[in-house]
Structure 1
Amino acid sequence: MPPARPGFGTSGRKMIVRANHFLVGFADKDICHYDVAISPEPKTRRINRVIMTELMNKHRTSSLGGQLVAYDGSKSLYTAGELPFTVMDFSVKLGKERREIEYKVTVRFAARANLYHLQQFLGGRQRDCPQDTIQALDVVLRESPCQNYVTVSRSFFSATFGHGDIGGGLECWRGFYQSLRPTQMGLSLNIDISSTSFYRPIPVMEFARDCLNLRTVDANRPPSDRDRLKLRRALRGVRVETTHQEGKKSMYKITGITSDPLVQLNFPLDEGTQMTVVQYFWDRYKYRLKFTSWPCLQSGSAARPIYLPMEVCTIIKGQRFSRKLNEKQVTAILKATCERPKQREESILKMVDHNNYAADTLAREFGVDVTNKMVNVQARLLPPPMLKYHDSGREKSCVPSVGQWNMINKKMVDGGNVQSWTCLNFSRMPVEGVRMFCGDLVQMCNSIGMVFNQMPVAEIRSASANNIEGALKDVHQRVPKLQLLIVILPDVSGQYGKVKKVCETELGIVSQCLKPDKVNKANKQYFENVALKINVKVGGRNTALQQALSRKMPFVSDIPTIIFGADVTHPAAGEDSSGSIAAVVASMDWPAITKYRAVVSAQPPRQEIIQDLFWTTTDPKNGCIMPGGMIRELLLAFYRQNNNIKPQRIIFYRDGVSEGQFAEVLMYEMDAIRKACQSLQKDYLPKVTFVVVQKRHHTRLFPEVHMKETDRSGNILPGTVVDTNICHPTEFDFYLCSHAGIQGTSRPAHYHVLYDENRFTADGLQSLTNNLCYTYARCTRSVSVVPPAYYAHLAAFRARYYDEPLEGSESTSVVSAGSQVVAGATGPPVASYRKLPQIKENVKDVMFYC
């Protein structure tokens, strides 16, 4: 069980903020839980709901005793009072004539909700959370929106809330997120504005035009194989309705697209003769098909396909697009949904009024009441830390203002030394312009504290974007021990990953990639940001916390301390052929805690537990047990870089874990940390604090109207921390907004302590986390997530590029160290996913992922 809250924080200036949480009251009702089993089992929740709605319409007044029910769309049903039976079977028929399906539905009593236990838990008198009871009340409040809107996880969408075209045959729908949460105030309903992408309800030929970015659709010019595959991926699983029969519409689910054009397709008639699809449509419907050189949509099974010409099909409204959006679509959806805090607060309150929970018949039946006002929350504003710069600069230290500062009159606390460098230009920029840019960049690096050779060791050249791999290898051959390669990327996007993969896993070159449009518009701020990234990539440090350097930093300076960050990135929806990527980073420069070494590993798709934290295998030569894994590798690196000192304290920031995964992730990953430590020395047991970092939540904090309580964007000030009211009733968690808003409404990070042997105080962990957010190496701003977790995310995102095979290469057969083994396993099983190529050691030694 996670540790209890060690008290509340007291540091910082007290203030009041509003949170998008709405208090929920509940009466002492007899809430009963029933298990639901449907046979044959439907494929979707949508069909489940259709079946149960039909069952309610037929049997509510008779067999169900007139009871109103709340259904979760899967296997649970809730009533406010007992049904007249303990178990009963029902029969429900769906469909018409030959396509009619009969479902058997079994409803069986399972349990009663323990509302007293819930009251005790919310009052802090019970530690274990009655999740089943909260689930019951949550389902009650979700029943009405589930019936009226398109449901996506915990969010509900409707075109009536607002929608807009985002290109590629898609549109953005607005909606709302809703979740019932236990807090110190009692139950609260967390409500937020949501947006997501849907297919536009348009003819399939129009969708094809938009999806393939065509001006017009030429009936006589078929799509290329590449475009056909793109269209197949985009349309697979989409439901369409036909339009060629007057007064009748038939619905189908697309299973694929034919490889042959429509004109070549035929099918067997009853008598065994073959007929073309084109002729069939003319004979049967008097419909002359026009786009006969285009492929045909396919429905049904592979054995008995149903051919659907694209021109007679229209996409049915209300279908979510769950695959990866392109850059333009992401930009469009962000632009459409970006709201300043005041606007977002108003939008949420309007949505609450629209939902009118007081008029919800089912909620009243179950005794559930929702207020319509946001809660006021006690918050505190933590001060920013003092940042240390080099003594040779005019300003030796600085205190950030509203989450930002600059490099004027300052020099890097530890400037890197770059003697061997050159530049390779893949863009259309003239090489003379590239040389001028490099000269200005070198000048900026030297002016803020680096020692940077003004002359490249090899001539700055332009190269063809069609042979990136060859050009990189040529540079490596000319200068085998190149320290830094500056790369101007091609004008077309999508080549960054190729450059990084070749440089970091094949050639061992540290590179800095730059986009040509940014280079063309380079200003002082841009040069400064690039210089900051280059400095850490060549082993330097930009700044450090004054407290850390003077060894006065609580929970860090007293004993050797290592700070880890860990994250797992998963493949985009529909791309499960590639694995998930895990990354772990760790601080190497105690007591300064600014340099982080990274290791990455591949694992099965959608696997959240990091399998490669620790593993053992058997040496086939002598039978000895050989330990390895990410934690062990990073502990050894710390040991080497700190005069053979082992860390005595471990602080582990773990990103990307949802609440339902807390127990499982903690059990496996803490076990792996312990085993990795003991593999170095039997009695080596450093004290561990394990903190989950969450950004994908929907709590927003809104400032008071006084301008002194906001930043320039109207958001709450950086350093705002909340550990009361909306936080967990008994466990150690807090919300921290550590950054200044740029656009839209700031999202605070949520930190939840799952394990704590270091006995942090509330102020201790909150201040440490906030201070670390000012040490992010890529800019002179505080960031929204603690840097070790941020770096782990960057490293995992970078390694995603390693998972993509180069054209004509065999690199996918190279195995990363330990990427096949499970934490604590005694031998590597065969992996069904592609393995990562190894990052070269000289690249690993620096912050290459920045």
Structure 2
Amino acid sequence: MAFDYNGKVPEPDAEITKLENQIVAAQSSSLTALTSQMGKLNVKGKGGKGGKGGNAAPPSDMLTQFPPRPAYGSNGRPVTLWANYFKVNLKLDTFYKYTMNTKKVASASKPESKKGAKAGTGEKEVKGRELLFVVKAVLAKLLEEDKKFVGATEFKDALITLKPITLSANPMTVQVPRSEGSDEMVSYTVEFHGPNEIRVDDMKNYLTSMADGPAGADAISFPRFPEVVDAINIILGHKPRSDHIKTAAVGSSRFFPFGDDKIIKELNQNWRALAAARGYFQSSRLATGRVLLNANVTHGVFRLSGPMTQIFDGLEIRAASKGDNMAMRKLRAFAKFLPKTRVWYNFKTAEGKTVRRGKAIRGLANWSEVAKKGKTMAHPPKFDANWEYGGPKNVQFWIDGDKGGRYVTVYDYYKQKYNLNLKDYPLLDLGTEQKPFTYVPAEMIEIQPGQVIKASLTMDETTAMLDFACRSPYSNALSISTASRQVLELDDPSLENFGVSVDKHLLTVQGRVLNAPTVVYLNNQRKTTDVRPLGGAWNMRSVRVYKPGKKIERWTWVNLSLRPNAPTIGRDVVLAYGKFLVGMGIAINETPLAPPQEVIAYNADLDKIFAWLQNNGIQLFVIILSEKDTSGVYAKIKQLGDCTYGVHTSCVVGRSFGKGSPGYFANVGLKVNLKAGGVNHRLKDEFSILKDGKAMIVGYDVTHPTNLPLKKGASEPPSLVGFVSSIDGDLGQWPALSWEQTSRQEMLSSKLTEAFMLRLDTWSKHNGGRYPDNIIIYRDGVSEGQFSLVLNQELPSIREACRKKYSPQFQPKITLVVSVKRHQTRFYPSSTDEMSKSGNIVNGTIVDRGVTQTRYWDFFLTAHDALQGTARPAHYTVLLDEIFRPKFGTKASDELERLTHELCYLYGRATKAVSICPPAYYADIVCERARAHRPEWFEQKDVDSQTETTGGAPSTVGRQVHVNLRDSMYYI
């Protein structure tokens, strides 16, 4: 059934709803027992600084399970939604899995290069496209030996079969062409390990009961049955992966069509031969009573494909001499992304046979390369004078002949041999590092489709990419329900061989719409006044900030020109800005201090300017940028202000700031008040868990280096941690900490203990010297497979911090929630009556059933009103709960959902609800600011690379925020 707002919408599966209710009811007994167990930990006595009584430190081995769902939430208006899931039907109860170990057999005549060999073995690793062809040969041979063979693979090392296979030989030997179209064959050995029995029936039984059973009752295990889910994903992904020309498979879950159904947009802004492509994500997931397939629209960046002549024409690229600056700029940009591009080289043999051979491009024919590497050659290529990237008439190569050989231009050679009149396109080098300078004209080259590329997009390319990717929710839902099935081949008859089928209609689920809270400001008489959000947003008309921060006595400004003769903003606009901030209720002197000079250039000595600020006691420095910064000046400003000199900085764009718009002034003013320690707004109704002023909320996140241009051997940048916490019941101030840790390490080290202790002291300083009784933590960004690591590796560091700060008789209660935005679940309104202006579900929509597992406590929340595209809900999963269940019992779900939802209205620098709760949001911003503090790592451009090292790091690594700003929201 196609997706249709006007058609009849099926109700959520009544049998699944019944099963969900039965399972959650059965868990109530364990909930009662757990509550009783935790109640026994509550002791009376003097306690510690945290209060008169509390709970003693829990046993170290107490956490053996994730907390069960206390009940499904009930608050809010019911609403039926579409979800981007299909039901997966499984008829069979058992699969078998083999692991394949592939090795290349070295030839006596052509021994394999040891480049890329596994350490200590001298054996070259078989991977990528080479491995794909080997596995295809293996499948063909298995089918040849057994005509009834049924198998599926991800074309790497896993093979799923219906029954154990009988091998005539193990290892098996197969032969594959050395390159696409080549007649020369290369031998490989493939050794099979297994089979491992995949018990699908055990998973089915689990889904209808959600009981872990004796084997898993005493262990934290999530996700459940990963080997079965992995097998289903391999089966479903096998067919679209099998034709690598028609469909490009990226990673384990993304598929892009490159046949007649391809949908691409060329990103020609910078001549880099890139294209945005639309494809589909798929991944199977377990839910109560059933297996679901999560399908979504996805986008990726690929190399342009097709005849090289068409690509050159589209980019308006021709061979050019060094004096043609624009042409050279195009060529350099194009040349940078060309190496390793897979192409088809189309040529004729001496017998007149047309051959299409797969090759990898080394680059454009380049005079500089010849100058470097051609010195040892007897007859290196020759370029015409002043030609960096030569065309057919500008480059000569040596050919042997009866009279000893001679140089001939590429143009003349192809004219004489093939009767081709070559145009002045740049020549392509199809050589290797060992044998470079095999020059081929563009007329004989075709770039193969589906080559994904990891690239940091420029601002123009990003804008074009977003324009292409941003579609209405209806368009995405319609594509998922129709086109995705063709690309992912979900209706292919071969799935029936495994007893697998996928329902044809999207899933419907039951959601609820929560009421928006009322926010509070001060009016012009400095009395509290209520403001009611509408559509997740409100305005500050006729109101002031709820609480001003420390008064900014001394502030100043400067125009920073990022290009010569850029327009500047006059003093009158700055004075109007100061007056506006005072009118907002912000504690600031209306008139700024005059700067030494009102206009400075992008290459000015910023250190000298910041030293002047520090010497003159400036508390706030407003930098008016002539345009959006793309040169790294912003990072330099934040590095100097936040870390070196301890001065708050506020960067504004001159074009917007100069208009004097109240909306723009107010938006910047909110950030200024937060930097000064103020509270912009609060909620009218306090959360029940926060009413007594004894709760602290924490958020932390880790960001990892991605898409950075590193030379071979260069050390990789560190991962960065952002940590924030509340200081009082207003929940308006969230001071931050950040630090480095091992690159790509997600779990926090023991440094978390130190950070937690510091923030407990900060909370204590603002709350009469006592420590919080309750600590609610939002841990951002970890995957399901890392949930147990959070409890086993990070929670002990938090417990250790509490043991050091509290008395032995009193320890705080902790609830730990993981928040995730990077997932593929989407919901769509089933009726125009329940639709936002952008066609999305309305803000405040929450879903905790239908696509979840009853055994675990999680929910999807769309707190914000998405203005364009499809709204992405935040996904929250409770890993530990010592607060809500003991206090609220079966209403714990409603209380936690309400807290999380209403927190989204407390994001201090906006007058709207945000998509993820502020503790997680702020932690993410802290990580981004930490990147700005380390421009030597994270501000690299595509044309630059890190200094080549053997493991050393730039000398400025490890910057810390200045002591003056450490307890502030400097990052906002």
The Cα offsets for residues 778-819 of structure 1, whole Å up to 9 and x where unpaired, read as 110000011111111111111111111399xxxxxxxxxxxx
Distance 2:177 2:675 in 1: 63
Distance 2:727 2:137 in 1: 65
Q: Give the secondary structure class of the aligned counterpart of 1:354.
A: helix
1:94 aligns with 2:176: yes
1:756 aligns with 2:874: no
Q: 1:469 aligns with which of 590, 606, 626?
A: 606
CA contact (8 A) 2:95 2:197 kept: yes
1:790 aligns with 2:917: no
1:357 deviates by: 5.4
Residue of structure 2 equivalent to 1:235:
338
Distance 2:585 2:669 in 1: 10
1:670 deviates by: 1.1
Q: Give the secondary structure class of the aligned counterpart of 1:8.
A: coil
Q: 2:250 aligns with which of 152, 161, 179?
A: 152
Q: Give the secondary structure class of the aligned counterpart of 1:600.
A: strand
- The structure-2 alpha-carbon separation of the partners of 1:356 and 1:507, relative to structure 1 and needing over 3 Å to count, comes to closer
1:18 aligns with 2:141: no
CA contact (8 A) 1:183 1:727 kept: yes
- Percent identity between the two aligned chains: 26
The AA in structure 2 aligned to 1:194 is T
Q: Give the secondary structure class of the aligned counterpart of 1:35.
A: strand
- The structure-2 alpha-carbon separation of the partners of 1:433 and 1:133, relative to structure 1 and needing over 3 Å to count, comes to closer
1:163 aligns with 2:297: no
Residue of structure 2 equivalent to 1:602:
740
1:666 deviates by: 3.3
Which blocks of at least 5 consecutive residues in structure 2 are unaligned? 1-64, 105-123, 217-223, 383-394, 400-405, 413-421, 886-891, 939-950
Aligned positions of 1:338-357 closer than 5 A: 338-355=470-487
CA contact (8 A) 2:471 2:869 kept: yes
Q: Give the secondary structure class of the aligned counterpart of 2:196.
A: strand
CA contact (8 A) 1:395 1:409 kept: no
Residue of structure 1 equivalent to 2:851:
726
- Structure 1 stretch displaced more, 562-571 or 194-203: 194-203
Aligned positions of 1:59-208 closer than 5 A: 59-62=142-145, 64=146, 66-85=148-167, 88-96=170-178, 100-127=185-212, 129-148=224-243, 149-153=247-251, 154-159=253-258, 160-167=261-268, 168-201=272-305
- Structure 1 stretch displaced more, 74-83 or 313-322: 313-322
Residue of structure 2 equivalent to 1:568:
702
1:400 deviates by: 1.2
- The structure-2 alpha-carbon separation of the partners of 1:238 and 1:630, relative to structure 1 and needing over 3 Å to count, comes to farther
The Cα offsets for residues 594-653 of structure 1, whole Å up to 9 and x where unpaired, read as 211111112233222223633xxxxxxxxxxxxx63223222222233332222222221
Distance 1:470 1:113 in 2: 63
Residue of structure 1 equivalent to 2:112:
none
The Cα offsets for residues 223-270 of structure 1, whole Å up to 9 and x where unpaired, read as 89999986675334432445687845554435678986256366599x
CA contact (8 A) 2:560 2:602 kept: yes
TM-score normalised according to structure 1 size: 0.87
Distance 2:538 2:747 in 1: 38
Distance 2:516 2:851 in 1: 24
Q: Give the secondary structure class of the aligned counterpart of 1:452.
A: coil
1:415 aligns with 2:548: yes
Q: Give the secondary structure class of the aligned counterpart of 1:805.
A: helix
- The structure-2 alpha-carbon separation of the partners of 1:834 and 1:731, relative to structure 1 and needing over 3 Å to count, comes to farther
The AA in structure 1 aligned to 2:969 is M
Distance 1:642 1:170 in 2: 56
Distance 1:650 1:831 in 2: 37
Distance 2:966 2:340 in 1: 42
CA contact (8 A) 1:485 1:509 kept: yes
- Structure 1 stretch displaced more, 638-647 or 289-298: 289-298
1:736 deviates by: 0.2
CA contact (8 A) 2:340 2:360 kept: yes
Distance 2:342 2:493 in 1: 33
Q: Give the secondary structure class of the aligned counterpart of 2:171.
A: strand
Residue of structure 1 equivalent to 2:965:
843
CA contact (8 A) 2:80 2:829 kept: yes
CA contact (8 A) 2:695 2:772 kept: yes
The AA in structure 1 aligned to 2:624 is I
Distance 1:162 1:82 in 2: 41
CA contact (8 A) 1:498 1:806 kept: no
Which blocks of at least 5 consecutive residues in structure 1 are unaligned? 615-627, 808-828
1:516 aligns with 2:641: no
- Structure 1 stretch displaced more, 307-316 or 652-661: 307-316
- The structure-2 alpha-carbon separation of the partners of 1:715 and 1:581, relative to structure 1 and needing over 3 Å to count, comes to same
CA contact (8 A) 1:29 1:367 kept: no
Q: Give the secondary structure class of the aligned counterpart of 1:403.
A: coil
Q: CA RMSD in A?
A: 3.4
1:24 deviates by: 1.1
Aligned positions of 1:467-546 closer than 5 A: 467=604, 469-470=606-607, 472-473=609-610, 475-476=612-613, 479-491=615-627, 493-494=630-631, 495-546=633-684
Q: Give the secondary structure class of the aligned counterpart of 1:23.
A: strand
1:745 aligns with 2:870: yes
Q: Give the secondary structure class of the aligned counterpart of 2:291.
A: strand
Aligned positions of 1:619-630 closer than 5 A: 629-630=754-755
- The structure-2 alpha-carbon separation of the partners of 1:629 and 1:738, relative to structure 1 and needing over 3 Å to count, comes to same
Q: Give the secondary structure class of the aligned counterpart of 1:775.
A: coil
Distance 1:46 1:679 in 2: 55
- The structure-2 alpha-carbon separation of the partners of 1:682 and 1:177, relative to structure 1 and needing over 3 Å to count, comes to same
Distance 1:698 1:286 in 2: 54
Q: 2:811 aligns with which of 676, 685, 690?
A: 685
Distance 1:205 1:542 in 2: 59
- The structure-2 alpha-carbon separation of the partners of 1:339 and 1:806, relative to structure 1 and needing over 3 Å to count, comes to closer
CA contact (8 A) 1:42 1:48 kept: no
1:401 aligns with 2:534: yes
CA contact (8 A) 1:601 1:612 kept: no
The AA in structure 2 aligned to 1:508 is G
TM-score normalised according to structure 2 size: 0.76
Distance 2:408 2:318 in 1: 27
Q: Give the secondary structure class of the aligned counterpart of 1:300.
A: coil
The Cα offsets for residues 655-712 of structure 1, whole Å up to 9 and x where unpaired, read as 22122222224321112212222333563632222211111111111112233x2222
1:94 deviates by: 1.7
Aligned positions of 1:25-40 closer than 5 A: 25-40=89-104
Q: 1:436 aligns with which of 572, 584, 587?
A: 572
- Structure 1 stretch displaced more, 634-643 or 162-171: 634-643
Distance 2:636 2:171 in 1: 59
CA contact (8 A) 1:341 1:702 kept: yes
CA contact (8 A) 1:261 1:294 kept: no
CA contact (8 A) 1:600 1:796 kept: yes
Residue of structure 2 equivalent to 1:771:
902
Residue of structure 2 equivalent to 1:53:
136
The Cα offsets for residues 385-404 of structure 1, whole Å up to 9 and x where unpaired, read as 12121263576122211100
Q: Give the secondary structure class of the aligned counterpart of 2:604.
A: helix
CA contact (8 A) 2:472 2:870 kept: yes
Aligned length: 804
1:222 deviates by: 8.7
1:103 deviates by: 0.8
1:449 aligns with 2:513: no
The Cα offsets for residues 485-543 of structure 1, whole Å up to 9 and x where unpaired, read as 11012435332111111111111110110122322445221111111111101111100
- The structure-2 alpha-carbon separation of the partners of 1:13 and 1:297, relative to structure 1 and needing over 3 Å to count, comes to same
Q: 1:638 aligns with which of 757, 763, 767?
A: 763
